[in-house]
Amino acid sequence: MRKSAVKAISVLSAAFMMITFLPVPPANAYMAEKYFKNHMGYDNEEEKYMFGGWDGKREELEHKGVTFQGTFTCDILGNPVGGYEQGARYDHSMGWDVNFDLEKFAGMKGTQFHISGLWRAGQNLSSATINNALVASSIYGHEQFRLYGLYLEQDLFEKKLNIRIGRLGTGDDFASSPLYWTYVSNAVDGNPISIPINLFFPTYPTAVWGARAKVNYTKEFYSLTGIYNGDDRVQRDSAYGLDFSMRLKKGVAFAQEFCYAPNTAKEAEGLPGHYKAGIYYHGGTFRDLYSDINGNSAALTNLDRQKHIGNYNIYFHADQMVYREHGPGTDQGLIPLAAAAIGPSNMNQFPFFIMGGLIYKGVVPGRDDDTTAFEVVYTKYSEDITHSEFVDQQKYEMMLEFTHKVMITPWMFLQPDIQYIINPKGGNNLKDALVIGTRFGVTF
């Protein structure tokens, strides 16, 4: 049964590779809508959504300050080669978001209110058949109905300052880039995966109480500052995203990011880019990966592991369009990008992470909205883990991904994807794995 399923996946994916496809919208429905509106150029309400403009009601509600967006995305992925067994898995994520522009709705200038949630189901190919850390599907996690964002947003000083407060996902603002949404793999989709593995870094679909301030110093330079509840118990599935308690015993988290974004203003004529550097610090208690309370190997002495107060990851991101097919204001062309994250090796499973990629929009003549992308990701296991006598020697894991996407309609996409995973789980005698599959999604 599994062999036939994998064979079917392989045949379908090979066939789909012969046609052209679209950039996937982000899993967060509200961010997906912003992406389409700002980058895809679809302004007609009837064209943007599967259900159209509700006979004009959607536009009417928007004029009154209420907008609704939703997305459905599913992955069908299989590994015909490698891992610890062969198989195929399906998972999906449906997200929704309602935004109230309170300036239109209630006369509160520059104020918005967001509420969002999701429904996920399915299985994780990586854990089920491969046992790798760079998870194959970016839409897997918390398979249930779940509340996500719930926050107020305020613009001040002629939009020089933007503040959000409420239930927030740290990963929506920090260590993030819309370019990451191009990929199917979760290695960088949303955020570099090493950060949320190393320490509690709330990402979609987990939100916590927090506040975030964005300061626009110039049109090309801004900073982000955030503070968040550091209690990881809020993400448990039994709470369905409804744990509103403010427990601070597990620490408070702080995030700071600076970004230089040349030629991103509407009137700019040069090629756009983004250069980011940031730090995420969690003030909770962390166990040493190697040392016991006396500084010896905890695996040998069986004593309690040494405790550390506070842990952090530093990250970097860069993307720069190097070729544009048409003039200013268009986004067809080639964008190289790179991201890296580092942290102390005695507390972080992955103290070093790096990725590099290429994204080209409109490479096929006549298919201006299609996107072709490639990435290479490398993550290194902590030597403090590999030095433990009773742990298999884990060194590194790598992943190569090629994906090609086309817009079937302005609201529907289909995206074949190939991933090759080298040294799954760091080299625990697992064969390199090939992942072949397809992503499908709609905006409604």
The yes-or-no verdict on residue 162 having pLDDT over 50 is yes
pLDDT at 137: 97
Average pLDDT over residues 341-368: 95
Average pLDDT over residues 95-124: 95
CB 209 within 8 A of CB 167: yes
Q: Domain count of the chain?
A: 1
CA distances from 337 to 81, 273, 316, 321, 325 (A): 29, 9, 11, 9, 18
pLDDT computed for residue 28 by the predictor: 52
Model pLDDT, residue 247: 86
Confidence band of 153 (pLDDT split at 50, 70, 90): very high
Amino acid at 35: Y
Tell me the whole-structure pTM to 2 decimals.
0.88
The 10s digit of each residue's pLDDT in 207-229 is 999 999 999 999 999 999 999 99
Q: What is the CATH number of the domain that holds 237?
A: 2.40.160.180
pLDDT (average), residues 4-20: 42
Range of the domain at 306: 2-443
Are 316 and 175 in contact, with CB atoms under 8 Å apart? no
Q: Is the pLDDT of residue 192 over 60?
A: yes
* Residue with more model confidence, 301 or 110: 110
Q: Of 359, 381, 373, whose CA–CA distance to 425 is shortest?
A: 381
pLDDT in tens, 253-262: 999 999 999 9
Q: Does 425 score more than 70 pLDDT? A: yes
The per-residue pLDDT for 56 is 86
Sign of the torsion formed by the C-alpha atoms of 316, 132, 423 and 288: positive
- The average pLDDT across 425-438 equals 90
pLDDT at 170: 98
